[in-house]
Copies of this chain bind each other. A is one copy, B any other.
Amino acid sequence: MPELRKDPITGGWVIIATDRARRPSDFFRERVVLKGAGFCPFCPGNESKTPPEILAYRPASDRGQRNAPGWSLRVIPNKFPALGIEGELNRQAEGMFDKMNGVGAHEVVIETPIHGETLATMPVKQVEDVLWAFRDRILDLKQDRRFKYILVFKNHGEAAGASLEHPHSQLVALPILPKQVVEELEGSRRYFANKERCIFCDIIQQEMESRVRVAAENQDFVAISPYASRFPFETWILPKRHESAFENSASHVYENLARMLRSLLLKCVHLLDNPAYNFMLHTSPIQENANDYYHWHLEIIPKLTKTAGFEWGTGFYINPTPPEEAAKFLREAAIEDAQTA
Using a CB–CB distance below 8 Å, which chain A residues touch chain B? Answer: 1-6, 8, 10-13, 15-18, 20, 80, 82-84, 87, 94-103, 151, 153, 155, 158-161, 172, 174-176, 178-183, 202-203, 206, 210, 227-228, 230, 278, 280, 299, 301, 303, 306-316, 318
Which of B2, B100, B179 is the one whose CB lies under 8 Å from A316? Answer: B179
| B87, B202, B314: the one within 8 Å of A178 (CB) | B314
What are 5 contact pairs spanning A and B, CB under 8 A?
A2-B83, A3-B102, A179-B315, A230-B312, A301-B310
Given contact pairs A95-B210, A203-B96, A20 touches B80 in the complex (Cβ within 8 A):
yes
Residues of B within 8 A of A11 (CB): 179
B residues near A307, Cβ cutoff 8 Å: 158-161, 303
Write the chain B residue with the least CB distance to A100: B4
B280 and A313 contact, CB distance less than 8 A: yes
| Chain B residues, CB < 8 A from A95 | 206, 210
Provide the bound-state CA to CA distance between A10 and B182, in Å.
Answer: 12
Instruction: Contact check, B210 vs A102: say whether CB atoms are below 8 A apart.
Output: no
Contact, CB under 8 Å: A4 / B161: no
Which B residues are in CB contact (< 8 Å) with A280? 310, 313-314
A315/B181 in contact, CB under 8 A: yes
Q: Is A155 within 8 A of B96, CB to CB?
A: no
Find chain B residues with CB under 8 A from A178 CB.
12-13, 314-316
Query: What is the bound-complex CA distance between A124 and B67, given in angstroms?
Result: 61
| Distance (whole angstroms) from the CB of A201 to the closest CB of chain B | 11
Shortest Cβ distance from residue A210 to the other chain B in the assembled complex, whole angstroms: 7
- Dominant SS at the A interface? mixed
Q: Are B161 and A309 in contact (CB under 8 A)?
A: yes
Q: Could you say which of A10, A20, A87, A307 has the most chain B C-beta atoms within 10 Å of its C-beta?
A: A307
Q: Which B residues are CB-close (under 8 A) to A174?
A: 316
Known A176-B13, A314-B178, A315-B183: A6·B99 in contact at CB below 8 Å: yes
A122 CB to closest chain B CB, in angstroms?
21
Which listed residue (B16, B101, B172, B306) contacts A3, Cβ 8 A? Answer: B101
When chains A and B are docked, how far (Å) is the Cα of A83 from the Cα of B301? 24
A4, B101: Cβ atoms closer than 8 Å = yes
Contact A227 B315, CB 8 Å, known A10-B179, A15-B102, A179-B12: no
Most B CB contacts (10 A, CB to CB) among A80, A102, A182, A230 go to: A102
Tell me which residues across on chain B come within 8 A of A181, comparing CB atoms.
Answer: 314-315
Chain B residues whose C-beta falls within 8 Å of the C-beta of A16 in the assembled complex: 102
A81 to chain B: closest residue by CB: B2
- Kindly identify which residue among B97, B230, B306 contacts A161, using a CB–CB cutoff of 8 Å: B306
Q: Is the CB of A310 within 8 A of B2?
A: no
Chain B residues near A316 (CB-CB < 8 A): 151, 172, 174, 178-180
Are A161's CB and B310's CB within 8 A? yes
Given A158-B306, A179-B316, A180-B313; 6 other pairs, CB 8 A cutoff:
A95-B206, A96-B203, A96-B206, A158-B307, A180-B316, A278-B309
Task: Kindly report which residue of chain B lies nearest to residue A305, judged by CB atoms.
Answer: B161
Residue of B nearest to A98 (CB): B6
B313 near A301 with CB under 8 A, answer yes
Q: When chains A and B are docked, how far (Å) is the Cα of A206 from the Cα of B95?
A: 7
